[in-house]
Chains A and B, each alone.
Chain A
Amino acid sequence: MSVFLDIFTVAAVSAGAFFFLAGIVGLLRFPDTLSRLHALTKADNLGLGLPRAGGLLAALKLVVVWLLVLLASAMVSQMVARVARRGGSPS
């Protein structure tokens, strides 16, 4: 049983790290603010969510933290996107 848990943990954490990496590549390479924002928030949500699922046993607190981060990142991306759409973005 614990072997399966370990495999699950390694898989989930690796997948989370992959999403973070993809998000960072997107942040650095995408051409404009809106697509950079898209790369960052989508990847962050999953990247943070999967390592959380990896530590399933001591996880309730982390679930709450993750939900708060989801809320904050969704809000912030909305607000940045609004400023960008109004033409406030330098590049």
Chain B
Amino acid sequence: MTVASTLALVLALLLVAIAAWTVATRRTFAAVEGFVAYGLLLSIAWVSLKAIDVALTEAAIGSGLTGVLLIGAAARLRTTEAALSAERPGTPLRWLAAAASAAVAGAIAIGVLSLPDPAPTLAPAVLEHLPSIGLGNAVTAVLLAYRGIDTLLESIVVVFALIGVWSLAPDRVWGGYPGPRQYADPNSILAYLARVLPPIGIVVGLYIFWVGADLPGGKFQGATILAAMWLLAMMAGLADAPPISRTWLRILLVAGPLLFIAIGLAGALTAGAVLAYPEGYAKLLIKVIEAALLPTLVLTLALLVAGAPERTAPR
């Protein structure tokens, strides 16, 4: 066995072990930790499969952002956790859940194993037409040119998710500041980090967004890094999230998807199909759409973590 295949085997075994542990552990917090570690290992697996775009997204969104959201949820559940874990579901219910999970896993396994070899792929066709779009990164081309409708719906879904989080607010603080106000010692190590890291993080985030046209990267990954920098400043008490009733905030939240829809509809007139780009303008329009989606995504991702409004806005 070669070194590479040994490493791949170890990685696969670790992934299965962490996944099993995440499911088996009784403590919510430990399960979240397992989930984050699982996501990071999974992104290493994607790197070893040469799917750098997927690895970046997995590390940023799958493990990072979802991990933070789950940690917040676990912290909220802590007071009721003892009562919840004392109350075990009955044996028939647990067997039923196990049977349903095994059936789903089995169905997926049969589906994957019965794929013809080589699996059907459109990758050569995408690569062949890549020059006509003007992009160097095939993943970005697929996301914004061939499967534009998916990306459009994705960018709308995250805004809906944010509205869902906001709608958990009690009436009296509706329109107020999200989450509790963070107070930290201005001389603390966290405040120091929140001053040192954002300049670096903002440059890296914008670079990853910009380079997405030709190399692995893109708006989602860049937006996660930028949102993380904003959240760091919020946690250190150096910045506060805006009240959710601010007009500029609401405009920015819908501006990205609206511009995407507008350009998509304009494609019906100029290129003959909705979400098609006129000849020669594809790269420009894709970058415009991505640039408009970036602020939407940064705000959405950061405010998702900041949570539902808990403090009233100043009159």
Interface residue ranges, A against B (CB under 8 Å): 68, 71, 75, 78-79, 82
Contacts and interface: CB of A to CB of B under 8 A. Distances in A.
Interface in B152-190: 189-190
8 contacts: A71-B193, A71-B197, A75-B190, A75-B192, A75-B193, A78-B189, A79-B189, A82-B189
Interface of B: 189-190, 192-193, 196-197, 200
B196 A71 contact: yes
A84 B217 CA distance: 38
Contacts of B190: 75, 79
Secondary structure class of chain B's binding surface, majority of residues: helix
Interface residue SS majority, chain A: helix
Contacts of A71: 193, 196-197
B65 to A, nearest CB: 17
A68 B200 contact: yes
Contacts of A68: 200
A81 to B, nearest CB: 10
A75 B200 contact: no
Contacts of A79: 189-190
A79 B196 CA distance: 16
A71 B200 CA distance: 12
A44 to B, nearest CB: 15
B45 to A, nearest CB: 20
Given A71-B196, A75-B193, A82-B189, 4 more contacts: A71-B193, A75-B189, A79-B189, A79-B190
